[in-house]
A = this chain, B = another copy of it.
């Protein structure tokens, strides 16, 4: 649309129907300038087969279905996070190949004509069983964005030997996503042992002075071992997304 408008102005100038001053004025105030290169990004995303992401929390089932249908119509890969089972059931009625990851509460729609190419490996680690929904959200998002993902769950400090047993997986990965609540020490420990880039995700699981994730968030931000960056509390999506961006 934007390009179309520029084109019209140009033809006007070429055909001497519009003089240069008028043309300059028209273009100067055209409200769509930015859409131009924004669209380019958008196109590039589509070319790379990246999915469109729908954040379902605080949306109604009707809203989710409407958005997903609209995206599916243009052959997108779609990832809907924080989706209830009810949302999935409604979506499934319209889009046969929709799949649901129960733990992470994600709906995944893989378009056959628009397959994302597979990238290097990302490892998702979680400290405890109760961190799994967040860890799984990170894993599902990274997969949907083309990363090969391995999971090593429940490797908290008390099970440090389990972590060390997974040494080879750790060495192979391009990036680590580490999900932990309570004291949130796992990223610091792993960073001290292995030289990998770590995306740390604090979780709100815990009680007492973990303050809904503030304690592990602060632990992770203050990590004494370099190579650790942090996303928001419970933000598995953000971690999986970022990990895939840097995964080549």
Is A161 touching B10 in the complex (CB atoms < 8 A)?
no
Q: A156–B222 Cα gap in the complex (Å)?
A: 13
Q: Determine the chain B residues whose CB is within 8 A of the CB of A215 once the complex forms.
A: 218-219, 221-222
Q: Determine the chain B residues whose CB is within 8 A of the CB of A173 once the complex forms.
A: none
Classify the interface of chain A: helix, strand, loop or mixed: helix
Copies of this chain? 8
Q: Determine the chain B residues whose CB is within 8 A of the CB of A188 once the complex forms.
A: 157, 183, 185
Q: Determine the chain B residues whose CB is within 8 A of the CB of A28 once the complex forms.
A: 2-3, 6, 36-37
A118 interfacial by beta-carbon distance below 8 Å: no
Is A207 touching B182 in the complex (CB atoms < 8 A)?
no
Q: A111–B14 Cα gap in the complex (Å)?
A: 45
Q: Determine the chain B residues whose CB is within 8 A of the CB of A205 once the complex forms.
A: 58
Sample of 18 more A-B contacts, CB < 8 Å, known A182-B224, A222-B232? A6-B23, A10-B20, A32-B161, A34-B164, A59-B129, A156-B192, A157-B192, A157-B225, A175-B246, A185-B223, A195-B245, A204-B208, A211-B218, A215-B219, A215-B222, A219-B219, A228-B231, A230-B230
Contact of A197 among B45, B159, B161, B245 (CB under 8 A): B245
A38-B160, A38-B193, A45-B195 known; A127-B224 Cβ under 8 A: yes
**Shortest distance from the beta carbon of A108 to any chain B beta carbon, whole Å:** 17
A63 interfacial by beta-carbon distance below 8 Å: yes
Q: Which of A1-36 contact B (CB under 8 A)?
A: 2-3, 6-7, 10-11, 13-14, 16, 20, 23-24, 27-29, 31-36
